[in-house]
């Protein structure tokens, strides 16, 4: 269909258009729209040409009408008379989709919790009525380098005020892990979470499929080789406390995790409580890779920085990263006690104590920790609980006096715990070629299951030897 270009007419008719303009309501060029052609509100036979924000009135040639979609004069049957509502052109910039600041009027327990600065106690409890929870957390593989140290910490004679044994949370990575030991930890009531399979550097910048492979693959390895059910693995921690921006949290949401514990917080006078990601995080993001979108109902259990008033020893998210190596046992204990009292004497935010194995390679540090645990157990409102036990309390807060009979923290029911590990696990020597290496080495894997064909890895969590075998389906939360 023949279309007649109007550009040449625009200049010719501009003067005449100015005469007509005196007789019509004043037309204002749309703000921010730049130079271009716009429909005359009075008739489809005319249009305005905006140049440097000044409107020039123009007429379409005889028999033609202004089409407000294609912005030209054409036949009447084809012209879409305007002005038509405009839809902004798609942005070429990535969508930020930022979460908004906490709105307490729209956020209520048990599904949502936030506060403007992150320091308020769930349920509005007074600090002196709030239990002081301590979270002992451990990152990495469980093996002969650390297992006996862990057993010593969780000695059966160390109990909470309700006479139940104290418990901890283990964020497991795959290489060098003894899954028979992991099964025993789970059988004894400790929480098992995932850290990732490979602990690869730079994962925070990787895509959705990489995070699925690392997180869900690790959960499947735990299920297959440590007999820990998928439904019991509800928390995770990103390698090196480098969250994967929105991508990691999308995987958490899609695959049924309840919480993340990857966000480090710079030193703050009052500690931050865990919060849900319905709203913007209420503190500075130390890593620079925190989520910016809203992920309703997903909890963040952040790592408050550890430090003392003089900053002796520095400040650190993991306790083994503070420089305490020259201290004796008493000095280590006093350092931990002063750090702890910032929580205990203020808002009772959970005191998380995160460790790597290297803390337990230095006798003074390990013994100072034991001295601190004994001190804390002497306080009648202090509880050593798992991250999930803490969040169970946070969704329905109870005062300290109510916790002696608090059902979720009782230890009398063990129906849902994994079975006890076997007495003689299989010790599997498996060839393994790391992706970045040019040679094949041996990895050992201990499990009550049969030895796999290959060392389990990304894409093959059961070690079948079929690369890329794993296909993971999103779950409905």
Which residues touch 443 (CB under 8 Å, ≥6 apart)?
A: 175, 176, 429, 430, 431, 432, 455
- H or E segment at 118? none
Helices (H) and strands (E) in the chain — how many of each?
Answer: 8, 18
Token pair 């350092």 is found at 335
Distance CA 386, CA 109 (A): 20
- H or E segment at 56? strand 54-59
Domains located in the chain, CATH noted: 7-75 (2.170.140), 104-409 (3.20.20.370)
Q: What is the pLDDT of residue 412?
A: 77
CB 232 within 8 A of CB 211: no
Residue 16: other Cβ atoms inside 10 A = 12
Q: What is the pLDDT of residue 96?
A: 59
Q: pLDDT digits over 92-104, tens only?
A: 334 456 899 999 9
Q: pLDDT digits over 377-407, tens only?
A: 999 999 999 999 999 999 999 999 999 999 9
- H or E segment at 276? strand 275-277
Q: What is the pLDDT of residue 414?
A: 67
Distance CA 150, CA 139 (A): 12
Distance CA 382, CA 123 (A): 18
CB 210 within 8 A of CB 231: no
Distance CA 81, CA 79 (A): 6
Which residues touch 144 (CB under 8 Å, ≥6 apart)?
A: 178
Distance CA 40, CA 27 (A): 8
Which residues touch 340 (CB under 8 Å, ≥6 apart)?
A: 134, 351, 372, 376
Ranges of the chain with pLDDT below 50: 1-22, 87-95
Q: What is the pLDDT of residue 24?
A: 55
Q: What is the pLDDT of residue 42?
A: 87
Q: What is the pLDDT of residue 423?
A: 93
Distance CA 210, CA 49 (A): 51
Give the phi and the psi of residue 48 in degrees, each rounded to 5: -105, 135
Conformational region of residue 241, where left means phi above 0, alpha means psi within -120 to 50, and beta covers everything else: left
């Amino acid at each position: 269909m023949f279309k007649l270009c109007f550009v040449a007419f625009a200049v010719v008719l501009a003067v005449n258009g100015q005469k007509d303009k005196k007789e019509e309501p004043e037309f204002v060029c749309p703000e921010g729209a730049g130079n271009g052609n716009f429909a005359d509100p009075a008739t489809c036979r005319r249009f305005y040409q905006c140049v440097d924000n000044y409107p020039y009135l123009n007429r379409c040639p005889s028999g033609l009408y202004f089409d407000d979609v294609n912005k030209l004069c054409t036949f009447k049957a084809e012209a879409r008379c305007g002005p038509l509502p405009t839809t902004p052109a798609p942005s070429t910039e990535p969508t930020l989709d930022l979460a908004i600041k906490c709105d307490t009027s729209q956020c209520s327990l048990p599904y949502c919790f936030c506060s403007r600065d992150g320091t308020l106690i769930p349920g509005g409890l007074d600090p002196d009525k709030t239990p002081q929870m301590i979270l002992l957390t451990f990152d990495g593989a469980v093996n002969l380098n650390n297992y006996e140290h862990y057993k010593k910490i969780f000695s059966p004679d160390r109990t909470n005020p309700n006479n139940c044994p104290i418990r901890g949370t283990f964020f497991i990575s795959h290489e060098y892990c003894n899954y028979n030991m992991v099964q025993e930890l789970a059988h004894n009531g400790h929480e098992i979470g995932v850290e990732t399979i490979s602990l690869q550097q730079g994962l925070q910048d990787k895509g959705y499929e990489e995070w699925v492979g690392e997180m869900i693959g690790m959960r499947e390895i735990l299920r297959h080789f440590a007999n820990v059910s998928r439904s019991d693995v509800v928390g995770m921690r990103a390698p090196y406390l480098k969250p994967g921006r929105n991508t990691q949290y999308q995987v958490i949401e899609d695959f049924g995790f309840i919480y993340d514990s990857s966000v480090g917080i710079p030193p703050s006078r009052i500690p931050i409580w865990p919060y849900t990601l319905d709203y913007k995080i209420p503190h500075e993001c130390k890593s620079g890779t925190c989520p910016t979108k809203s992920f309703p109902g997903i909890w963040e259990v952040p790592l408050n920085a550890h430090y003392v008033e003089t900053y002796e020893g520095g400040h650190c998210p993991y306790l083994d990263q503070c420089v305490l190596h020259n201290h004796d046992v008493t000095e280590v204990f006093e350092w931990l006690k002063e750090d702890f009292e910032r929580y205990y004497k203020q808002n009772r935010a959970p005191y998380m104590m995160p460790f790597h194995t290297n803390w337990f390679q230095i006798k003074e540090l390990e013994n100072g920790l034991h001295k601190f645990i004994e001190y804390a157990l002497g306080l009648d409102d202090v509880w050593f609980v798992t991250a999930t036990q803490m969040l169970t309390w946070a969704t329905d807060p109870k005062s300290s006096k109510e916790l002696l009979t608090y059902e979720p923290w009782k230890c009398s029911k063990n129906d849902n715990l994994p079975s006890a590990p076997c007495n003689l696990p299989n010790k599997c020597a498996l060839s393994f070629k790391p992706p970045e290496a040019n040679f094949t080495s041996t990895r050992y894997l201990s499990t009550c299951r049969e030895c796999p064909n290959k060392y389990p890895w990304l894409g093959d969590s059961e070690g079948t030897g079929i690369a890329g075998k794993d296909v993971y389906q999103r779950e409905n939360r």
